[in-house]
Every structure is written in C-alpha cells, then in structure tokens.
C-alpha cells in the first residue's frame, strides 16, 4: 500500500507536484505558522462555539460544520494565496482550464463518538454532468488545513492513495485507507478524484480542520463565494484572493461584466479591451 508523501515547506516544489500527480495526495507539514493559526481560530471561535455537534449520517452525527470560512476569517482567506498551494494547484488544474476558483471553504470540527464518513470523491458533485475518466485531467483539487493536530485517535481524514486511477465501481478496503496524520498548521492536498472520508474521534478533545478546494473556472462553484464573501468584504483581500473567489472571468469572457476588468471584476475595465478579447476568441457579436 502506498502511503501519503510528506514534505516541509522548503522542499522542492517539483517533488511535491510529482507526488500529487502520481499518488494523488501529499501533506505539507506546518505550512501555516502557529501564530497565524491562532488568529484564524480567534476569528471563527464565536461562530463555532454557537453550533452544536450534529451533521447527519454523512458527517457522522458528531460534527460541527460552518460554511463560508473565507467570509468568517480574513486571515484564512489570505492563506489561499500561499505560493506553494498555488504552485501545486497550477500543476494539476491548468491543463484543463484557463484559471481556477475557490470551490468551497468550511470549518469542520469532529467530536467524540459518531460514525465513519462514507468514502467519496469530491468531483462527485458534478456527476453525471461531468464524466470522470480514471487518470484523466482533474477539475478539482481538495484541501484540508489542520487547525488542531490530526491523529489516528482523533479521527484524522482517511484517504485512499491512487484511487484517482480507479473506475467508479471499485470499492476500497480498510487496508487501502491511510489517515492524514499531521501536526497543527499542516495542509493535506489531494486530487478531487481521490476517495476520502472523516474518521471517528475517539478522544475527549475535538479535532478541527479547515476544508477548501479549487475547481476549474468554467464550473459552477459548489459554494456561492459571491454571497460568502461579497464585494464589500472581498475588496479588502489581496487581488489574487479576489480572483480565486471568482472575481475573475474565465478565458477571459466567461463571466465577464461590462465596464469591468476581466482579470479582476472588482476593478473598472476598458470596453475597448473587452472588444479585443472578443476578437481574440473569434466570436461573432
């Protein structure tokens, strides 16, 4: 059984890219410093404290779940522009799109007890409308930042290395699963076609993770980022993060807005430039 490749943030980016292409999963240990994680934790703490564990069968009945993490924590939103993260996403997604976008951002806190989450693929949200081909180009990359230490005992995420190469009928056995054990501040990143699921927390301390994902810019986002982080919030974030939220047209005319810069839709544009973009695409208007 192949394990999960592990790197520190100073490792060669090409080595990380190779692991993501081949095995489909990697962990960058301690990517986010403790003081940054402390700020994120402080920004989401009131909302998280107000929730009760639940979540239904898919989330094991003992999970606190909050959507819209980028709208709840500006510090977390800044982490989306980490050059290591973007370098990995570039390598995986840009073969299948002009630009990619934030698919979802949420907070998951798993409490003692509950059940195993069923193994699933994140690309499943698009089936049957987008057909997945085993080993084919990816349309998604999935992300999990550890806000607390992830251990086998507290239910660290279960992943099946290499399952992006399987057809949909093949089922994973427990022996093929590997847990994403990692220290606080680490990032697990995996291809959207990798089978994965939450584990069961058997300790008295909740395990907390920040869930994210990028998808090809020509897809509908799973979570509506324009409501999660509307322009009045997004304008205070770095331009690259604004683009990742979806404030950037794809190709550059898919999602365009008149008199707005297609590269950054929160910025005034030039209509002549827009017309040139149409000409470049050989479109008839």
- pTM (whole model) above 0.75: yes
Q: Is 24 exposed, middle or buried (0-12, 13-18, 19+ CB in 10 A)?
A: buried
In order along its 285 residues, the chain shows pLDDT tens digits of: 468 999 999 999 999 999 999 899 999 999 999 999 999 999 999 999 999 998 888 888 899 999 999 999 999 999 999 999 999 999 999 999 999 999 999 999 999 998 999 999 999 999 999 988 898 889 999 999 999 999 999 999 999 999 999 999 999 999 999 999 999 999 999 999 999 999 999 999 999 999 999 999 999 999 999 999 999 999 999 999 999 999 999 988 899 999 999 999 999 986 555 555 555 555 443
- In Å, how far are 78, 233, 267, 284 from 239, measured between CA atoms? 10, 12, 10, 31
Q: Find all residues with CB under 8 Å of 199, minimum gap 6, and list them.
A: 110, 116, 117, 152, 154, 155, 156, 157, 158, 179
Tokens at 184, concatenated: 């606080």
> Checking DSSP bridges between strand 178-179 and strand 158-159, what pairing results, if any?
antiparallel
What single string gives the DSSP state of each residue in 26-83? EEEET-S-HHHHHHHHHHHHHHHHT--SB-TTTTTT-EEEEE-HHHH-HHHHHHTT-H
Q: Is 73 exposed, middle or buried (0-12, 13-18, 19+ CB in 10 A)?
A: buried
CA angle 233, 242, 277 (to 5 degrees): 130
- Which pLDDT belongs to residue 58? 86
Domains in the chain and their CATH numbers?
5-248 (2.60.120.620), 249-285 (no CATH)
- Which pLDDT belongs to residue 181? 98
SS3 at position 1 = coil
Handedness of CA 138, 281, 235, 71 (dihedral sign): negative
């Amino acid at each position: 059984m192949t394990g999960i490749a592990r790197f520190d943030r100073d490792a060669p980016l090409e080595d990380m890219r190779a692991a993501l292409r081949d095995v489909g999963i990697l962990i960058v240990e301690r990517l986010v410093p403790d003081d940054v994680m402390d700020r994120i934790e402080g920004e989401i703490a009131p909302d998280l404290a107000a929730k009760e564990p639940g979540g239904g069968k898919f989330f094991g009945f003992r999970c606190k779940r909050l959507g819209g993490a980028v709208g709840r924590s500006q510090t977390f939103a800044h982490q989306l522009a980490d050059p290591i993260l973007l370098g990995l996403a570039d390598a995986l997604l840009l073969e299948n799109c002009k630009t990619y976008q934030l698919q979802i951002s949420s907070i998951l806190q798993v409490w003692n007890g509950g059940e195993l989450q069923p193994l699933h693929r994140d690309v499943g949200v698009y089936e049957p409308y987008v057909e997945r081909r085993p080993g084919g180009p990816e349309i998604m990359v999935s992300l999990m930042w550890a806000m607390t230490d992830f251990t086998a005992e507290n239910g660290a995420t279960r992943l099946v290395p290499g399952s992006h190469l399987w057809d949909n009928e093949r089922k994973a056995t427990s022996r093929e699963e590997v847990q994403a054990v990692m220290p606080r501040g680490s990032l697990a990143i995996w291809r959207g076609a990798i089978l994965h699921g939450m584990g069961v927390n058997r300790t008295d301390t909740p395990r907390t993770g920040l869930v994210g994902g990028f998808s090809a810019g020509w897809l509908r986002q799973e979570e509506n980022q324009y409501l999660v982080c509307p322009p009045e919030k997004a304008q205070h974030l770095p331009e690259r993060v604004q683009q990742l939220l979806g404030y950037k047209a794809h190709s550059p005319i898919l999602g365009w807005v008149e008199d707005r810069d297609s590269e950054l839709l929160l910025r005034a544009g030039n209509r002549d430039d827009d017309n040139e973009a149409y000409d470049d695409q050989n479109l008839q208007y």
